[in-house]
Structures are given as structure tokens and as C-alpha cells.
Chain A
Amino acid sequence: MALLEVENLAIEFRTRGGTVHALENVGLSVDSGEIVGVVGESGSGKSVSAFAVMGILDPAARVTAGRIEFDGTDILTAGERKLRKMRGRDMAMVFQNARGALNPIRTIGQQIADVLRCHKFGDRGAIGDQVVAALKTVRIPDPETRAGAYPYELSGGMCQRVGIALAMACQPRLLIADEPTTGLDVTTQSTIMDLIRDLVRANRKAAILITHDLLLAEEYCDRIVVMHAGHVVETASTAALFAAPRHPYTAALIASTPRQDTRLAALRPIAGSIPDLRADLPPCRFAARCPRRIERCVNEPLPRIAADGDAGHVTACWRPL
């Protein structure tokens, strides 16, 4: 039984300019001990899916279909009180804008203590020690002094470490990292990602890594879910995805990702852009940009086709590669 199971999730936003069909038929699953990557361009619905799992969607959002089950609990029907107990304790999130995710007028020690206290984690009298311990696990030097620091006094990388400490403070079973390294320099990026991986592996937790950086996903994730314009287009183990991508979008994404030895001339950007999610959309939202498009793509609902010999490698395409 998977720790997290998302099935057929559809979410729309009501805005002044119309209804945005943000997610449609989105599904993914995560088991304990594995790191699942969710990759895609900006606006593909990655963060929205994460917020839906945590139950912290915008008030303007409406879940119109689907099921989210975490550790036996139905997230979509559980009341706010139950969800609140789970947030931070059973599932937690690390955010993209590390400093922005911290309260600017509270010290980082106070913020970690807030989380520990609210979940009644551990001994009330020893909160100070626990805060220091939490800072130690994310490898912040001189934690006793640092605990009294304000976010503006810390570098971006440090803030992200604090964010991770906050998320891991109560030892949640699932960690969702939403673009945790965007905006950090490359060296810090790998340090942060190593930290996340170590913490997750050490305690057999599950993690979802949301990123637009394919190489990052390739290095740190066990399985990858590829999203485009609110759809899940391909799901596979990392090795299988990069060795033999089956969805045209995945292939194009991989081809457009520069590696160390890629030359500028060899870069192949993907034509077009993400369609307007307010408009009437064909069943396959990539069809307009797809070189392999056929009639079926714009007329019939998308299939879920597993690869021969690899039941875990699923593609939503009529003409997989």
C-alpha cells in the first residue's frame, strides 16, 4: 500500500478572467522510502498538486474530482482539524523562496519551537535543546547562537536549511520539497539536495521533489512524474525515463536540457508554450506543440498505456515513442 495515493485529481480556480482548469486527471503515488520527482515547466500544476496533498489550496481553488489518500486518510474529506494535526506532523513541506517562507520578525529558534510546541513534540522543558538538535540535523554550524538569529541575517542556503529543519522537526512520514533549490547557487544546491536525500533515506521517509530541473531530478529521484499543463503525461523509474522516454513531451524536455557537454547550437527548445488553461482545451494539452499529433489526440480522452515489460512506466499518449 502506497503511503500517498493521488488518483484522478481535478482542480479548477475561479478567477475574474474565467475558470482556470489547473489540474485534470492527475495521479501519482509515493511509497515509504522513495523519492518521487515531479517535473515540468512553470505553470504545469506541480505546486498546485502539492498544495492539494497538504490541504493548503487557495480559497479560490475547487477540487472537482479525484481522491487523495495519505496513510489511510482521505485528505479531501477529512476535516480541517484533522488535516491541521497531520500537517507538520505526518506530512510537511519545504518551499521555494526560503527566506520568504520564514517569519521575518521571529528568530529561527522561536519558529522551530512554535512547530514543536504546537504538535506537542517531546518535552516542553527541553524545547531549547530540541531546537538546537533540529538545527544540528540540517548541519547548521554553531546552532546555539544561530537559534537567536533572524531570517534577514542568514544566507539563502541557511534559510533553506532552516526550512528543512522546520519541516523535519516533528519527523513527518512525507516531505514535499517544492523547488527547494531554485535561487540558490549551484554548490549550495547540491549541498541542500544531499541533505534532503540523507534525511529522507536515513529514516525511511518518503519525499516528493518538485522541480523544473531535469538533471536534479535525474540525480536524486527514484521515480519521476512528468507534468504538462495540468496533466500527468508520463510516469516511470528514473532510469527508464532517461533511457527511453515514451511521451513526446518528455523526450523534448530531455533534449532541451543542457548538460555539461552540450553545445549551444545543439540545444533544442520546445516549440510553442503552455496553453491558456482558461480556454476550451483538447483532451491532450500538448497536441498543439506535438510533432506526432494525430486525429485521436484532439478527439478522444487520453489513454494510460504501460510499456511492455515495465508496468510502472505509464504514458498518456496515443503515439508513444
Chain B
Amino acid sequence: MAVRTRTGLVLARMLQALPTIAGVIVVTFVMTRMLPGDPAVYFAGPMATPESIAEIRHQLGLDRSLFEQFWVYLGDLARGDLGMSLVAGGPVTEEIMRRLPASMELTMFGLAFALGVALPLGVLAATRPNSWVDHLCRLIVTLGVSLPTFFTGLLLIYVFYYLAGIAPAPVGRLDFITPPPPHLTGFYTFDALIAGQFATFWGALTQLVLPAVSLGVFALAPIARMTRGAMLQVLSSDFIRAARAAGLKPRTVLVTYAFRNALLPVLTTVGIVFSFMLGANVLVEKVFAWPGLGSFALEALVASDYASIQGFVLTMTMMFVVLNLIIDILYTLVDRRLEVSG
């Protein structure tokens, strides 16, 4: 496509995502229709008579052809109807929206931690090759991708809660005695700050530390590796030498000239890392009793609540698709500037 304008490029990228979204919807539909046995039996419950099962089956539309069911499914999705949740006792969509802020807050803090450690580490390792920072970076990278997230979480709890006593008990977003702040965004830290409840803010923040770190440690490694690699490559390019020859200050050369150019591959890595984080959410939420989407999925698994499981998979995947789309678009906008460089 010879679309040159920025909006044109953005639209083109968004259109390219449509087949992917279509594929995702089809797969999630197929997943729940592959269930062993008869879904109507699950939904009807253990006390059901054959008549009530047939009734449920008709209600759920399971007696119609597969294509008709898919059509109904699409219609429901378009309306935002993900079915009824057994474990929540209400619409799946509602429950997901209720729990989403908890998971998002956790993921954002985890990502912030990962970036906050990985970016400077990668930059330092690249600017001081073969120093102790460089070796530390390589060590962290190798170990980081080998650490199972649930193991990290439990280890951190053991060391910082049981042994050192400086971390609060892993009982969720707040301890048992603190009530949540008035609901604004659902992000306890933000909402508490806005409401001026500093004690609640602090409580929410301290509860976040260990789970966010557990989530972030695994994400740390690929980001640090990519930052280091991208920085090394950029630092050896011609325009960096030219910038130094022009007498620009080292900080300017490093930040404005080198780092910004290295950010793009790092951004792509963040996209990949997000895939891990969405999955690892489930593990971390189990370890820390975090009431987010992950624990919702776990409850649904135990109860064979297929509507909830499907809703969970669909939600997590759509978040991933949207994030990748955003990264893709950003990349496309900056791409022309980079395509000719060394």
C-alpha cells in the first residue's frame, strides 16, 4: 500500500489486525465447544432432570447448528455479553470489569519495576563493556529467564515476610483492617492519593511491592538484554562518532542521541514480555491472593465455569492484541526515519 500520510499508515496497521482478531474470536469459540461431554449438563447442575437439561440446552442455543451458535456468539460479543459466570453469580463481563483494575495495577507496577531496573542496567552494561555492571547484567539476564514466577514470589515472601518481617502478609491488595478507598479508577494507590487517604495509599503500595517484583523479575531479563544489545549497536554507529566529534556533551550523546535510537527494539521486546506477564498474572495472583483476573480464572477452572474461562481468555488476548497494535503503530510512525540508518 502506497499510503504515505501518518493517518493512512495508522489505519493500515489497524486493518491488518482485523484478521488476527477474527482468528482469536474463532479460536475462543472453538475452545468452549470442544468441551468433553455436554455443556448443558454443567450449566444445569447436579440435580437436573433430563427435561431441565434439555431446557438449558435450548436456552443456551446448544441445540442449534454450530454455525448458528457462532453467529449468536458474535452477536453477544458485539453487545459485550460474555455469558453468565457460575463463580461470580452474575454476568461475566461485569465480573471482569470489576476485577480488571486489580490486575492492571499489578501489571503496571510490575512493568514499571522491570523497566526501572532493566533500562539503566542495559545502558550501563553497554557503556561499560566488560565491567562488573556488564557481567551483572549478563548474570541477571541468564538467571531471570530461568526463574519461575511462582518460585520468585514464594521466595520473596519467605525472605522478606517470614525472615525479615519487613513485607506485609500476602493477603491481597490491602490488609484485613484497611477498607478500600472511594472508587474512582479501581487503582487503590491512585484512588487513595486522590482521596487524601495516605495511610491507605501506603498500605496499598506496600502490598503491591512483592507481587509486582515477582511479576517483574521474569520480564526484566529480556528487556535488559535487548537494551544492552541495542545500545551497543547504536553506540558503534557513525552518527554517534559524528556527535562526539562535534563536541556534544556525553549526556546528550548518551540520552538524546544513543538511547532514543535504541528504544525502538526495546519497545518491541516490551510487547513480547507483555505476553509473559499476562500469563504470569495468574501465577502471581495465586501466590499473593490477589483478587484480579488471574484468580478469577483459577476459581473458574476449579468450578468448570466455562463461560468465565472463555471470557478470561478473550479479555487477556484482546488486551495483548491491542497492546501489540499500539506498538506496531508507533513502530510504523518512526520506521521511515530509521530505515536508512546504519
Contacts and interface: CB of A to CB of B under 8 A. Distances in A.
A180 to B, nearest CB: 12
Instruction: Say what secondary structure dominates the interface of chain B.
Output: helix
A88 to B, nearest CB: 3
Q: Which of B246, B256, B334 is packed against the most chain A CB atoms within 10 Å?
A: B246
Nearest to A176: B245
Interface stretch (B18-26, B62-70, B222-230, B236-244): B236-244
A115 interface: yes
A150 B334 CA distance: 11
B245 A88 contact: yes
B6 interface: no
B245 A93 contact: yes
A138 to B, nearest CB: 15
A114 B248 contact: yes
Contact of A100 (B239, B244, B247, B252): B239
Interface in A71-111: 84-89, 92-93, 95, 97, 99-106
> Chain B interface: which size bin?
20 to 34
Contacts of B336: 150, 152
Given A56-B241, A118-B252, A163-B242, A104 B337 contact: yes
Interface in B325-342: 334, 336-342
Nearest to B246: A88
A118 B261 CA distance: 20
Interface residues of A, number: 30
Contacts of B249: 84, 118
B338 A97 contact: no
B160 interface: no
Contacts of A36: none
Interface string A101-129: 11111100000001100110000000000
A54 interface: yes
Interface string A157-178: 0000001001100000000000
B244 A104 contact: no
Given A86-B247, A95-B242, A114 B341 contact: no
Given A100-B237, A100-B239, A114-B256, A151 B340 contact: yes
A178 to B, nearest CB: 10
B247 A84 contact: yes
Given A95-B238, A100-B239, A105 B244 contact: no
A89 B239 contact: no
Contacts of A106: 256-257
B246 A166 contact: yes
6 contacts: A87-B246, A88-B248, A92-B245, A97-B238, A101-B239, A106-B256
Q: Which 5 A-B pairs have the closest CB atoms?
A: A88-B247, A87-B247, A100-B238, A101-B242, A104-B341
